Amino acid sequence: ETGVTQSPTHLIKTRGQQVTLRCSSQSGHNTVSWYQQALGQGPQFIFQYYREEENGRGNFPPRFSGLQFPNYSSELNVNALELDDSALYLCASSSGGYSSRHTDTQYFGPGTRLTVL
């Protein structure tokens, strides 16, 4: 059984650019959640995808968007990057989701470190 994987590990972008981060969920999981962790803070919920549809969103602007694919892998896209977007982006996969309003235990990937200059 493979765990949650994320790519790339590290990324450096400049203000105004766009970025795409990728996540492969754990085998058997149909739900992916994304979190942003700024330095010295706890992770903040961005959004969740269940069976290719957005299933809840945190307090993030529309320039943060996502996709989930039929194999349940997911992408996080951020447009018009700002300096404050510099953070560790964590992906978590789980089973359950929309139909139960609550997912089973979320398993986290190693994260992507994004630096915006």
Partner 1 sequence: KQEVTQIPAALSVPEGENLVLNCSFTDSAIYNLQWFRQDPGKGLTSLLLIQSSQREQTSGRLNASLDKSSGRSTLYIAASQPGDSATYLCAVEYGNKLVFGAGTILRVKS
Among 23, 103, 114, 116, binds partner 1 (CB under 8 A): 103
Residue 101 binds partner 1, judged by CB under 8 A = yes
- Measured in degrees and rounded to the nearest 5, phi and psi for residue 40 equal 80, 5
In 3D space, the residue among 35, 9, 42, 19 whose CA is nearest the CA of residue 112 turns out to be: 9
Among 11, 22, 58, 65, binds partner 1 (CB under 8 A): 58
Among 26, 66, 93, 109, binds partner 1 (CB under 8 A): 109
Task: Return the sign of the alpha-carbon dihedral for residues 104, 106, 107, 109.
Answer: positive
Q: Are 90 and 109 in contact (CB under 8 A)?
A: yes
Residue 60 binds partner 1, judged by CB under 8 A = no
What's the closest the beta carbon of residue 41 comes to partner 1, in angstroms? Answer: 5
Type and span of the H or E element at 114: strand 112-116
Binding footprint of partner 1 on the chain (CB under 8 A): 31, 33, 35, 40-45, 48, 50, 55-56, 58, 88, 90, 92, 97-98, 101-103, 105-111, 113
